[in-house]
Amino acid sequence: MESTLESVNKAEETADQIAARAGLDEDIRSGVSMAVREGMINAILHGNAYDPNKRVNLSFEQNDHDLVIIISDEGKGFIPDDVPDPLAPENLLKTSGRGIFLMRAFMDEVRFRKLNPGTEITLIKRLQSS
Amino acid sequence: MSMKASTRQVDGVTIVDLSGRITLGEGSVVLRDSIKDLLGKGQKKILLNLGDVSYIDSSGIGELVSAFTSVRNQGGELKLLHLTKKVHDLLQITKLYTVFDVKDDEATAIGAFSR
Protein backbone atom coordinates (compact mmCIF):
# COMPACT_ATOMS: atom_id res chain seq x y z
CA MET A 1 0.00 0.00 0.00
CA GLU A 2 1.08 3.56 -0.57
CA SER A 3 2.29 5.69 2.33
CA THR A 4 -0.82 7.86 2.40
CA LEU A 5 -3.71 8.71 4.71
CA GLU A 6 -6.04 6.96 2.26
CA SER A 7 -4.21 3.71 3.01
CA VAL A 8 -4.78 4.24 6.75
CA ASN A 9 -8.52 4.68 6.18
CA LYS A 10 -8.73 1.76 3.77
CA ALA A 11 -6.87 -0.53 6.21
CA GLU A 12 -9.21 0.45 9.02
CA GLU A 13 -12.31 -0.30 6.90
CA THR A 14 -10.88 -3.63 5.76
CA ALA A 15 -10.03 -4.60 9.34
CA ASP A 16 -13.59 -3.88 10.41
CA GLN A 17 -14.99 -6.05 7.62
CA ILE A 18 -12.62 -8.93 8.33
CA ALA A 19 -13.24 -8.74 12.08
CA ALA A 20 -16.99 -8.85 11.38
CA ARG A 21 -16.55 -11.93 9.19
CA ALA A 22 -14.51 -13.49 11.99
CA GLY A 23 -17.57 -13.16 14.21
CA LEU A 24 -16.25 -10.50 16.60
CA ASP A 25 -18.88 -8.32 18.21
CA GLU A 26 -19.12 -4.63 17.50
CA ASP A 27 -17.12 -3.39 20.50
CA ILE A 28 -14.23 -5.78 19.91
CA ARG A 29 -14.35 -5.13 16.17
CA SER A 30 -14.10 -1.43 16.79
CA GLY A 31 -11.01 -2.02 18.94
CA VAL A 32 -9.39 -4.21 16.29
CA SER A 33 -9.98 -1.66 13.55
CA MET A 34 -8.62 1.09 15.79
CA ALA A 35 -5.49 -0.99 16.53
CA VAL A 36 -5.01 -1.47 12.78
CA ARG A 37 -5.51 2.23 12.19
CA GLU A 38 -2.89 3.04 14.83
CA GLY A 39 -0.50 0.45 13.39
CA MET A 40 -0.91 1.95 9.93
CA ILE A 41 -0.38 5.49 11.27
CA ASN A 42 2.76 4.24 12.97
CA ALA A 43 4.00 2.72 9.71
CA ILE A 44 3.05 5.55 7.37
CA LEU A 45 3.64 8.63 9.52
CA HIS A 46 6.43 7.60 11.87
CA GLY A 47 7.97 4.82 9.73
CA ASN A 48 7.81 5.79 6.08
CA ALA A 49 7.18 9.48 6.83
CA TYR A 50 4.72 9.67 3.87
CA ASP A 51 7.61 8.85 1.50
CA PRO A 52 5.95 7.95 -1.84
CA ASN A 53 8.85 5.60 -2.61
CA LYS A 54 8.21 3.51 0.48
CA ARG A 55 5.43 0.97 0.83
CA VAL A 56 3.44 -0.46 3.69
CA ASN A 57 2.43 -4.11 3.67
CA LEU A 58 -0.74 -5.19 5.43
CA SER A 59 -1.88 -8.78 5.78
CA PHE A 60 -4.72 -10.52 7.57
CA GLU A 61 -4.75 -14.17 8.53
CA GLN A 62 -7.40 -16.07 10.39
CA ASN A 63 -7.06 -19.52 11.92
CA ASP A 64 -9.30 -21.41 14.33
CA HIS A 65 -8.05 -19.44 17.31
CA ASP A 66 -6.76 -16.06 16.22
CA LEU A 67 -7.09 -13.14 13.86
CA VAL A 68 -3.52 -12.14 13.01
CA ILE A 69 -2.76 -8.81 11.34
CA ILE A 70 0.72 -7.90 10.19
CA ILE A 71 1.77 -4.38 9.21
CA SER A 72 5.27 -3.62 7.97
CA ASP A 73 6.98 -0.45 6.80
CA GLU A 74 10.29 0.53 5.26
CA GLY A 75 11.18 3.28 7.71
CA LYS A 76 14.19 3.72 9.94
CA GLY A 77 12.67 1.64 12.73
CA PHE A 78 12.22 2.35 16.41
CA ILE A 79 12.59 0.69 19.79
CA PRO A 80 9.10 0.16 21.29
CA ASP A 81 10.46 0.11 24.84
CA ASP A 82 11.85 3.61 24.32
CA VAL A 83 8.36 5.04 23.77
CA PRO A 84 7.38 6.86 26.99
CA ASP A 85 4.43 5.52 28.98
CA PRO A 86 1.49 7.75 27.92
CA LEU A 87 -0.27 7.03 31.23
CA ALA A 88 2.54 8.44 33.37
CA PRO A 89 1.37 11.70 34.97
CA GLU A 90 4.14 13.69 33.29
CA ASN A 91 3.05 12.40 29.86
CA LEU A 92 -0.72 12.74 30.16
CA LEU A 93 -0.80 16.12 28.42
CA LYS A 94 1.51 15.13 25.60
CA THR A 95 -0.10 15.46 22.20
CA SER A 96 1.35 12.25 20.77
CA GLY A 97 2.70 8.86 21.81
CA ARG A 98 -0.54 6.94 22.43
CA GLY A 99 -0.64 4.76 19.31
CA ILE A 100 1.26 1.74 20.65
CA PHE A 101 -0.62 1.95 23.92
CA LEU A 102 -3.95 1.82 22.07
CA MET A 103 -2.83 -1.15 19.98
CA ARG A 104 -1.91 -3.01 23.17
CA ALA A 105 -5.16 -1.96 24.85
CA PHE A 106 -7.38 -3.36 22.10
CA MET A 107 -5.45 -6.47 21.02
CA ASP A 108 -4.56 -9.60 22.96
CA GLU A 109 -0.99 -9.57 21.76
CA VAL A 110 1.21 -7.02 19.98
CA ARG A 111 4.68 -7.93 18.72
CA PHE A 112 7.35 -5.80 17.11
CA ARG A 113 10.13 -7.03 14.87
CA LYS A 114 12.95 -5.01 13.41
CA LEU A 115 13.30 -5.32 9.66
CA ASN A 116 16.12 -4.12 7.48
CA PRO A 117 14.91 -1.51 6.89
CA GLY A 118 11.66 -0.96 8.76
CA THR A 119 9.44 -2.39 11.44
CA GLU A 120 6.91 -5.19 11.44
CA ILE A 121 3.99 -5.05 13.86
CA THR A 122 1.94 -8.17 14.52
CA LEU A 123 -1.49 -7.66 16.07
CA ILE A 124 -3.27 -10.72 17.43
CA LYS A 125 -6.89 -11.04 18.56
CA ARG A 126 -8.13 -14.29 20.09
CA LEU A 127 -11.34 -15.54 18.54
CA GLN A 128 -12.59 -17.91 21.24
CA SER A 129 -16.01 -16.80 22.31
CA SER A 130 -16.41 -16.09 25.97
CA MET B 1 -16.22 10.53 7.12
CA SER B 2 -15.20 14.21 7.24
CA MET B 3 -15.61 16.33 10.33
CA LYS B 4 -17.71 19.47 10.66
CA ALA B 5 -17.61 22.17 13.29
CA SER B 6 -20.10 24.95 13.94
CA THR B 7 -20.11 27.43 16.79
CA ARG B 8 -22.81 29.19 18.80
CA GLN B 9 -22.79 31.46 21.83
CA VAL B 10 -24.70 30.81 25.04
CA ASP B 11 -24.21 33.05 28.10
CA GLY B 12 -20.68 34.02 27.16
CA VAL B 13 -19.64 30.46 26.38
CA THR B 14 -18.74 29.36 22.87
CA ILE B 15 -20.19 25.97 22.11
CA VAL B 16 -18.48 24.12 19.29
CA ASP B 17 -20.76 21.44 17.86
CA LEU B 18 -18.53 18.83 16.26
CA SER B 19 -19.69 15.96 14.09
CA GLY B 20 -17.84 13.19 12.32
CA ARG B 21 -14.45 11.74 13.14
CA ILE B 22 -11.52 13.47 14.83
CA THR B 23 -8.69 11.57 13.20
CA LEU B 24 -5.29 12.11 11.65
CA GLY B 25 -5.70 14.51 8.76
CA GLU B 26 -8.79 16.56 8.11
CA GLY B 27 -10.66 15.91 11.36
CA SER B 28 -7.75 16.97 13.54
CA VAL B 29 -7.12 20.04 11.37
CA VAL B 30 -10.76 21.17 11.62
CA LEU B 31 -10.60 21.02 15.42
CA ARG B 32 -7.21 22.76 15.55
CA ASP B 33 -8.37 25.56 13.25
CA SER B 34 -11.60 26.05 15.21
CA ILE B 35 -9.74 26.47 18.50
CA LYS B 36 -7.14 28.74 16.94
CA ASP B 37 -9.86 30.88 15.42
CA LEU B 38 -11.79 31.19 18.70
CA LEU B 39 -8.71 32.05 20.74
CA GLY B 40 -7.74 34.61 18.08
CA LYS B 41 -11.11 36.27 18.64
CA GLY B 42 -10.63 36.26 22.38
CA GLN B 43 -13.26 33.57 23.00
CA LYS B 44 -11.71 31.59 25.80
CA LYS B 45 -14.69 29.79 27.35
CA ILE B 46 -15.11 26.86 25.05
CA LEU B 47 -17.45 23.90 25.31
CA LEU B 48 -16.75 21.13 22.80
CA ASN B 49 -19.92 19.20 22.06
CA LEU B 50 -18.77 15.73 21.02
CA GLY B 51 -22.26 14.20 20.89
CA ASP B 52 -22.02 13.57 17.15
CA VAL B 53 -18.36 12.59 17.12
CA SER B 54 -18.39 8.92 16.27
CA TYR B 55 -14.70 8.19 16.46
CA ILE B 56 -11.40 9.60 17.71
CA ASP B 57 -7.95 8.13 17.05
CA SER B 58 -4.62 8.84 18.78
CA SER B 59 -4.14 11.92 16.63
CA GLY B 60 -7.58 13.18 17.61
CA ILE B 61 -6.83 12.57 21.29
CA GLY B 62 -3.64 14.58 20.82
CA GLU B 63 -5.65 17.37 19.24
CA LEU B 64 -8.09 17.44 22.17
CA VAL B 65 -5.17 17.63 24.59
CA SER B 66 -3.61 20.37 22.49
CA ALA B 67 -6.90 22.32 22.50
CA PHE B 68 -7.17 21.92 26.27
CA THR B 69 -3.65 23.19 26.95
CA SER B 70 -3.86 26.02 24.38
CA VAL B 71 -7.04 27.37 25.95
CA ARG B 72 -5.73 26.95 29.48
CA ASN B 73 -2.43 28.65 28.61
CA GLN B 74 -4.40 31.69 27.49
CA GLY B 75 -6.29 31.81 30.76
CA GLY B 76 -9.42 30.20 29.39
CA GLU B 77 -11.43 27.06 30.07
CA LEU B 78 -12.28 24.16 27.80
CA LYS B 79 -14.86 21.54 28.71
CA LEU B 80 -16.26 18.52 26.91
CA LEU B 81 -19.95 17.75 26.46
CA HIS B 82 -21.97 14.67 25.48
CA LEU B 83 -19.32 12.01 25.01
CA THR B 84 -20.41 8.91 23.13
CA LYS B 85 -19.64 5.62 24.86
CA LYS B 86 -16.77 4.97 22.49
CA VAL B 87 -15.13 8.33 23.13
CA HIS B 88 -15.84 8.07 26.87
CA ASP B 89 -14.12 4.67 27.01
CA LEU B 90 -11.16 5.98 25.03
CA LEU B 91 -10.65 8.87 27.44
CA GLN B 92 -10.96 6.45 30.35
CA ILE B 93 -8.27 4.06 29.16
CA THR B 94 -5.91 6.90 28.30
CA LYS B 95 -6.53 8.39 31.78
CA LEU B 96 -7.65 11.66 30.22
CA TYR B 97 -11.20 11.47 31.52
CA THR B 98 -10.12 13.08 34.79
CA VAL B 99 -7.96 15.66 33.03
CA PHE B 100 -10.84 17.05 31.01
CA ASP B 101 -13.92 18.52 32.62
CA VAL B 102 -16.62 16.34 31.08
CA LYS B 103 -20.33 17.20 31.28
CA ASP B 104 -23.49 15.41 30.19
CA ASP B 105 -25.85 18.37 30.20
CA GLU B 106 -25.40 21.60 28.25
CA ALA B 107 -26.96 23.94 30.81
CA THR B 108 -24.91 22.41 33.63
CA ALA B 109 -21.78 22.69 31.52
CA ILE B 110 -22.39 26.36 30.77
CA GLY B 111 -23.07 27.05 34.44
CA ALA B 112 -19.78 25.42 35.38
CA PHE B 113 -17.67 28.03 33.57
CA SER B 114 -16.15 30.63 35.87
CA ARG B 115 -17.77 34.07 35.74
Across the interface, of B23, B57, B93, the residue whose CB is closest to A105 is B93
Cα radius of gyration (chain B) = 13
Mutate to test the interface with A, among B59, B71, B90 (most CBs of A within 10 A): B59
Predicted confidence pLDDT, tens digits, chain A (130 residues):
999 999 999 999 999 999 999 999 999 999 999 999 999 999 999 999 999 999 999 999 999 999 999 999 999 998 888 999 999 999 999 999 999 999 999 999 999 999 999 999 999 999 975 4
Cα separation, A32 vs A126, in Å, equals 11
Q: Evaluate the omega torsion of the peptide bond into residue A80 and state whether it is cis, within 30 degrees of 0.
A: no
Q: Which residue of B has its CA nearest to A37?
A: B57
**Structural domain tally of chain A?**
1
Tell me the three state secondary structure of residue A21: helix
- What is the CATH number for A9? 3.30.565.10
Find chain A residues with C-beta within 8 A of B65's C-beta: 93-95
- For the stretch B52-96, pLDDT in tens is 999 999 999 999 999 999 999 999 999 999 999 999 999 999 999
The DSSP code for B57 is -
Q: What is the 3-state secondary structure (H, E, C) of A58-120?
A: EEEEECCCEEEEEEECCCCCCCHHHCCCCCCHHHCCCCCCCHHHHHHHHCCEEEEEEECCEEE
- Residues of chain B found within 8 Å of residue A95, distances taken between Cβ atoms: 62-63, 65-66
Instruction: Report the pLDDT value the prediction gives residue A111, as an integer from 0 to 100.
Output: 97
- Which fold would CATH assign to domain B4-111? Transcription Regulator spoIIAA (3.30.750)
The pLDDT of residue B1: 55
What is the C-alpha separation between B107 and B102, in angstroms, rounded? 13
Check CB contact under 8 Å for B58 and A9: no
Domain that holds residue A23: 5-126
| Residue spans per domain, chain B | 4-111
